[in-house]
């Protein structure tokens, strides 16, 4: 069977990535709904688990939320008992956001199952392919973060990016 032309292969990857982004968004919305959280609240909770020394300012920068919106997100999570604001032991002037448990909170089982499936799925790939995939995903993540920050710049918001 002849190989597909490169432009067709590239287009298939681009279309698959678009579909994956849409499906991931819908998946996370369903998880947020199940947990009784908004999607922004859920992702903020996720960041609190994965970011070292997360402050409200750092969360605002990562998410592109205003400081007042970030405060509202943290207030909702704190009222639900999912995070606490604590003084940073190394710099008492700084307040860090800390999850109240390491178990993944109200949606731990969903992510545990997905994690197990992902490990099983990746088990079928050799180390060189895993290195390639890891680099590809890290590159996509870095560019996505860069473009999100660009879109969230105040001078871009008024012009629509």
Give the CATH number for residue 64: 1.10.10.10
Extract the runs of DSSP E, i.e. beta strands, from 6-154: 83-88, 91-99
Would you say residue 99 lies in a domain? yes
What pLDDT was estimated at residue 156?
A: 60
Four-residue CA torsion sign, 70, 42, 148, 133: positive
What pLDDT was estimated at residue 105?
A: 66
Residue 91's domain comprises: 6-124
What pLDDT was estimated at residue 52?
A: 80
Extract the runs of DSSP E, i.e. beta strands, from the chain: 83-88, 91-99
Would you say residue 156 lies in a domain? no
What pLDDT was estimated at residue 148?
A: 81
Would you say residue 20 lies in a domain? yes
Would you say residue 1 lies in a domain? no
Give the pLDDT means over successive 10-residue stretches in the chain (161 positions): 92 97 92 87 84 87 86 92 89 88 71 91 98 97 86 65 48
Number of domains observed in the structure of the chain: 1
Would you say residue 108 lies in a domain? yes
Q: Is 100 exposed, middle or buried (0-12, 13-18, 19+ CB in 10 A)?
A: middle
Would you say residue 112 lies in a domain? yes
Would you say residue 150 lies in a domain? no
Describe the crossing of helices 6-35 and 108-122 by its angle, rounded to 10 degrees.
160
Phi, psi at residue 9, to the nearest 5°? -65, -45
What pLDDT was estimated at residue 158?
A: 53
Would you say residue 79 lies in a domain? yes
What pLDDT was estimated at residue 104?
A: 61
What pLDDT was estimated at residue 17?
A: 97
């Amino acid at each position: 069977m002849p190989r597909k032309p490169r432009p067709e292969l590239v287009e298939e990857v681009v279309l698959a990535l678009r579909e994956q982004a849409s499906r991931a968004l819908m998946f996370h919305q369903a998880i947020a709904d199940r947990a009784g959280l908004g999607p922004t609240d859920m992702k903020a909770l996720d960041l609190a688990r994965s970011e070292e020394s997360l402050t409200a300012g750092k969360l605002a920068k990562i998410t592109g939320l205003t400081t007042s919106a970030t405060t509202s997100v943290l207030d909702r999570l704190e009222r639900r008992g999912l995070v606490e604001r604590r003084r940073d032991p190394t710099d008492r002037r700084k307040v860090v956001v800390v999850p109240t448990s390491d178990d993944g909170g109200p949606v731990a089982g969903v992510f545990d199952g997905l994690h197990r499936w992902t490990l099983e799925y990746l088990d079928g790939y050799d180390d060189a392919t895993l290195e390639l995939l890891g680099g590809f995903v890290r590159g996509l993540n870095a560019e996505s973060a860069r473009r999100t920050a660009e879109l969230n710049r105040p001078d871009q918001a008024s012009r629509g990016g």
